[in-house]
């Protein structure tokens, strides 16, 4: 059975708390960042963290940078942080957001399906 946990993202200093989802002890955002190491996307990733911090301190971002992607009748809000090539998917939690998945623009449709499956499994795990 998959074991979920949450870990505060220490690099984001904001009024709202940003946590990354851990799956079987591995931080989702950490794994995504590791995947980007040594690529041209590293700086773009840092910009995404800046977006999160800005939003977490009460700033407003345009839909081109941050978008609510919650389906109708869904009880937990879903969000997408966007840069030119990268996407980071999050859900709402009391007092902040939980980062559930990171991906690329060119795999966005597949990533959203994965994001929603992970979200569902995580929310079910909270009931047990």
The model scores a pTM over 0.85: yes
- The yes-or-no verdict on residue 97 having pLDDT over 90 is yes
Query: Could you read off the pLDDT of 50-78 as tens digits, one per residue?
Result: 999 999 999 999 999 999 999 999 999 99
Nearest-angstrom CA–CA distance, 42 and 62: 22
What stretches of the chain show up as alpha helix (H) in DSSP? Answer: 28-36, 42-56, 108-125
Nearest-angstrom CA–CA distance, 60 and 119: 25
pLDDT value at residue 7: 97
Closest CA to 8 of 16, 19, 24, 23: 19
| Mean pLDDT, range 35-49, rounded to an integer | 96
Mean pLDDT (the chain, rounded): 97
Task: Name residues whose C-beta falls within 8 Å of residue 127's C-beta, 6 or more positions apart in sequence.
Answer: none
pLDDT value at residue 62: 98
């Amino acid at each position: 059975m998959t074991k979920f946990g949450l870990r505060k993202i220490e690099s984001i200093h904001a009024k709202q708390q940003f946590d990354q989802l851990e799956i079987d002890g591995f931080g989702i955002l950490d794994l995504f960042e590791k995947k980007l190491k040594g690529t041209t996307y590293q700086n773009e990733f840092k910009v995404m963290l800046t977006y999160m911090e800005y939003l977490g301190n009460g700033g407003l971002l345009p839909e081109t940078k941050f978008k609510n992607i919650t389906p109708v009748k869904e009880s937990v809000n879903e969000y997408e942080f966007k840069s030119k090539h990268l996407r980071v998917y999050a859900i709402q939690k009391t007092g902040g957001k939980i980062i559930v998945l990171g991906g690329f623009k060119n795999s966005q449709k597949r990533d959203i399906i994965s994001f929603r499956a992970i979200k569902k499994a995580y929310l079910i795990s909270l009931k047990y």
